[in-house]
Amino acid sequence: MAEVLPRLTKEEEKQLQQLLKNVRFSLLFKGSVHGYTAVAFHAKCDTQGPSLVVAYNNTGCVFGGYSSQGFNSSNQHIKDERAFLFSLNKGENHNTPLKIPVKNADQAVHDMNDQGPTFGAGSLRFLVNGADVTTTDNNNYEFDVAELHGNNTALVECEVYRVEGIGDILESPWRKITWTPEEKSNLMDSIRNYKTCLNPVAQVRILMIGPVGAGKSSFFNSVNSAFRGHVTCQAISGCDSTSVTKKYRTYTIKDGKAGKILPIVLCDSMGLEEKTEAGLDVDDIPKILEGHIPDRYQFNPTISIQSDSPGYINSPSLKDKIHCVLFVIDACKVSILSKNLEEKLRTLRAKVSQFDVPHLLLLTKVDELCPFVAENIQDVYRSKAVQNQIHIAGARLGIPVSNILPIKNYSTNLELDCNNDILILHAVQQMLRYADNYFDNISFAAKD
């Protein structure tokens, strides 16, 4: 399924941040995509915890409600002392939101499996006869209908977000990193001078695997940028609904525009998608790991590469094989990965393990996960939100926390940032260390 993008703007999100401190919003349901029905709503939003319903009508009103208990199809009223209704751009100077707290907390939410989200005993009910909303003034919430939504009950969109607490900043980082220009220089030298323990192999080949839009191509561009000395975009990247990468690409990295080739090759694969016959074919992975698939091979989501396919490498050498796998996931989407994508990732991890290839998980876009990190990347290992997301990712995909690295790619910046480079280069250094484990295993096997 294509990535579902929120309608909520950054300015509207800031207004909601005034009502709910230290939180972030993860889109669960979008009426125009999933359908304006109670069935679709409950399928996407039940058991998701604290939830925010945001509605948009054709007069420009943005309004909705918040439940700290969320929805569960319990067919009963839910007690929630923190529930409230809201309307944006209605406060003083149109910069502060209108908040309507619950009056009768015992009936804050009417959680019916055959109805859309309903606040109170019908005070504010969504998804009525499709995209409509009904409002009544009763003892649960006290509000003026015109003030809430301009007395316009026909919606042009209805969204539901999970509300996730980002927590505070830890006093001390749980991973130690030195944030100095000298550290960046040391990391670059370490990567430049890296040599494998097996002489025939001059470059480590690292395969990147991840869902559409996770940032695989952007990671190569970011590593390339750090060594070129300016932001580059050699690999095609973007936010398309399907994988931007259509071919298997093997990217080398130069140390500067005219410098020598570095001892690392980043191999970009097609993005994973939910559907069975879409995105990267899981059956292609063993052939990539074994070095059978050539550079610029055109992926076919409906059928894996065959031995008689053009360019197929029949007898790959050790240098053609993959020495480390890098799973890449958007940090903001770890908690809302679909069951299909989670299963695909677990299946791929099992296949990688069968070939004794070490693997890491790269969590991208951590600046979007936590505002503290967005303001200062040095807080990445002090952010409770990042720490929590790393543990969630490890539990969902069965990957040890020590194998999970958070980064921020160069996707909006026009100039390099030393601290950002340090985080990216640390990730590369860890990949080379894991590749050493691969070569060590081969050396030991040869001796046996």
Task: Decide which of 165, 200, 222 is a domain's last residue.
Answer: 165
If phi > 0 it is left, if psi is from -120 to 50 it is alpha, else beta; for residue 374 that is alpha
For the whole prediction, is pTM greater than 0.85? no
Q: What is the phi/psi pair of residue 190, to 5°?
A: -60, -40
DSSP assignment letter at 129: T
CATH number where 216 lies? 3.40.50.300
Q: pLDDT tens-digit profile of 263-273?
A: 999 999 888 87
Domain that holds residue 68: 10-165
Q: Are residues 143 and 272 in the same domain?
A: no
Q: Are residues 187 and 94 in the same domain?
A: no
Contact assessment for residue 375 and residue 342, using Cβ atoms and an 8 Å cutoff = no
Q: Are residues 275 and 413 in the same domain?
A: yes
Q: Are residues 199 and 272 in the same domain?
A: yes
Task: Decide which of 139, 165, 191 is a domain's last residue.
Answer: 165
Please report the DSSP string for 217-250 in residue order. Answer: HHHHHHHHHHHHTS----S-----SS-S--EEEE
Least confident of 179-183, 250-254, 347-351, 444-448: 444-448
Determine, yes or no, domain membership for 170.
Answer: no
Total tally of structural domains belonging to the chain: 2
**pLDDT given at position 326:** 96
**Angstrom distance (rounded) from CA 373 to CA 365:** 10
Q: Are residues 145 and 32 in the same domain?
A: yes
Task: Decide which of 165, 196, 226 is a domain's last residue.
Answer: 165
**pLDDT given at position 284:** 83
Least confident of 11-20, 185-194, 201-210, 232-241: 232-241
Q: pLDDT tens-digit profile of 187-196?
A: 999 999 999 8
Determine, yes or no, domain membership for 332.
Answer: yes
Determine, yes or no, domain membership for 174.
Answer: no
**pLDDT given at position 1:** 45
Mean pLDDT of the chain: 88
Determine, yes or no, domain membership for 60.
Answer: yes
Instruction: Count the Cβ atoms, other than its own, within 10 Å of residue 195.
Output: 10
Q: Are residues 211 and 283 in the same domain?
A: yes
Q: Is the pLDDT of residue 203 over 90?
A: yes
**pLDDT given at position 277:** 65
Determine, yes or no, domain membership for 119.
Answer: yes
Gyration radius (Cα) of the chain, Å: 25
**Angstrom distance (rounded) from CA 201 to CA 192:** 15
